[in-house]
Chain A
Amino acid sequence: MFSKKTVVIIGAFFLIIANILILSVISQRYPTSGPGGFTISLLAPFQEAIAGSSRFLKGIWRHYFNLILVSEENDQLRKQLARADEMKNEWVEARLANDRLRRLMDLGGGFSQALVYAEVIGRDPTAWFKTVVINKGHRDTVAVGMPVMVPEGIVGQVVSVSGHYAKVLLIVDQNSAVDALVQRTRARGVIKGEFADQCRLEFVLRKEDVQVGDTVVSSGLDNVFPKGLRIGEIKDVTSDATEMFYTISVGPYVDFEKLEEVLVVVSPKDVIPGDDK
């Protein structure tokens, strides 16, 4: 009745319709169990593992780049910190220099003599002798024999001068001698340099009252150092019955290791204000 060709066309038509109907019915449901659920349960752990690994690798990659960036940033921050430290150090140095200069100016204000400010630029090449080189010479009115001091006390005496520089013999040098008085009792002696930045007070008669802790000042009688400049504190007094004089050890007030700026007294023959005894 129908040709073979017509049967195939009609069959195909119904098959397409049936397929559409099945698809339209199935696509309206979300199976959570059964074969679909089983498949998901089977594949999900692998998917999870792969996804996790992928995330992990991506994380490593990203962190690696982040680390590089952080490292570069760290380097920059370190440089900035170093610059900041340097600036801070400069600031601290400036503040300390300012304090020292202020104290020197305060000292200078109490003086009627002309004072020349100088910086220490060099020290003695050996440990056996105690001299410093300052950056002021005869062009700055500095001359041989002028006393040198700091707010803490006497530093020494100018022993050699050139145009812009001068050499100062420190009072702790063994060649140095300063006529001195014990401030409390006015006992007189001579301060001489000793090794290891110490001094000794010589020629103080045993009849004099001298005690540990007494302050020693310049007497002014040597015509070099103004009267009343502080020199040091008596650290030890030894009395020997066979000797005419005490053996007295004096610790200078000036820290010679940290000497940076000094004042040269240009006209020394004067009395320090306040030393009225």
Chain B
Amino acid sequence: MTYLFHIAVCLALVIFQTALKPQVYFLTGFYDVLTAYVIYLGLFHRGRDIWPIILVFGGIMDTISGGPLGLFLTTYLWLYLLTRWTTRLIHRDNLVLHVFIVAVGVIIQNGVYIGTTLLLGKATLFAAPTLGVALTQIFWALGTGGLLLVLFRRMHRLWERMLNTYFVRESAQSG
């Protein structure tokens, strides 16, 4: 059931990013929302069962994006690992961590993209528009990253509560 929840959220976020976001002019510089979700998973879901979800997320994004195959998968895996490692140093409920960790994640993600593109021999990446896009994404992440983490956490708690209620009712009826 938890898998179902994560996959549903992933699909909803991908649809938001590919169909809705391009229609809203002020959101065109928004960062990859799945980055925030991967960071949320790294902060609050540490079980081994999360790895397949990360693989699915990366696979979906690699399929629909025009980037080199495996780029999103690599990025998400590293982000998840780094987030888990961060929680060893800083408490996962730290408010400052929530505010900055998504922005740091976006910086890492953009770094991976730019690095990969440079490796592929695209020499014009450090032009002004590239920097502008990266900075816009970082500012968006600073402004909304923490809120998204809270939103994801509440959504998941709500889902678990609904499931518990449903199963308690089912077991009561069968009992």
Contact = CB atoms under 8 A, between A and B. Distances in A.
Interface of A: 121-131, 133, 159-160, 167, 169-170, 173-175, 194-196, 200
Given A129-B66, A159-B66, A123 B122 contact: no
B124 A167 contact: no
A175 B66 contact: yes
B66 A130 contact: yes
Nearest to A165: B64
A185 to B, nearest CB: 25
Interface residues of B, number: 29
B103 to A, nearest CB: 16
Contact of B65 (A126, A194, A196, A200): A126
Contacts of A130: 66
B66 A131 contact: yes
Interface string B115-145: 0010010101101011001000100000000
Contacts of A133: 18, 64
Contact of A128 (B14, B17, B117): B117
B4 to A, nearest CB: 22
B64 A122 contact: yes
A127 B18 contact: no
Contacts of A160: 63
B134 to A, nearest CB: 9
26 contacts: A122-B18, A122-B19, A122-B64, A123-B21, A123-B22, A124-B64, A124-B66, A125-B17, A125-B34, A126-B113, A127-B29, A127-B137, A128-B110, A128-B114, A129-B66, A131-B64, A131-B65, A131-B66, A133-B64, A159-B66, A170-B66, A173-B66, A174-B122, A194-B127, A196-B127, A200-B124
B27 to A, nearest CB: 11
A173 B125 CA distance: 12
Contacts of B29: 127
Nearest to A122: B18
Nearest to B13: A125
Given A133-B18, A174-B117, A195-B133, 13 more contacts: A121-B19, A122-B19, A122-B64, A124-B65, A125-B61, A126-B67, A128-B114, A128-B117, A128-B133, A167-B66, A175-B66, A195-B125, A195-B130
B127 A195 contact: yes
A97 to B, nearest CB: 16
Contacts of A124: 18, 64-66
Contacts of B66: 124, 129-131, 159, 167, 169-170, 173, 175
Contacts of A129: 65-67
A211 to B, nearest CB: 22
Contacts of A167: 64, 66
A133 B21 CA distance: 14
Nearest to B127: A195
B133 A127 contact: yes
A275 B160 CA distance: 64
Contacts of A125: 14, 17-18, 32, 34, 61, 64-65
B121 to A, nearest CB: 9
Nearest to A127: B133
A253 B34 CA distance: 33
B28 interface: yes
Contacts of B61: 125
Contacts of B34: 125
Residue with the greatest number of chain B CB neighbours at <10 A, chosen from A130, A175, A195: A195
Contacts of A194: 124, 127
A133 B63 CA distance: 11
B57 to A, nearest CB: 11
Contacts of B127: 194-196
Contacts of B124: 194-195, 200
Contact of B18 (A123, A128, A159, A196): A123
A121 B133 CA distance: 23
Contacts of B32: 125-126
Residue with the greatest number of chain B CB neighbours at <10 A, chosen from A122, A125, A131, A195: A125
B21 to A, nearest CB: 8
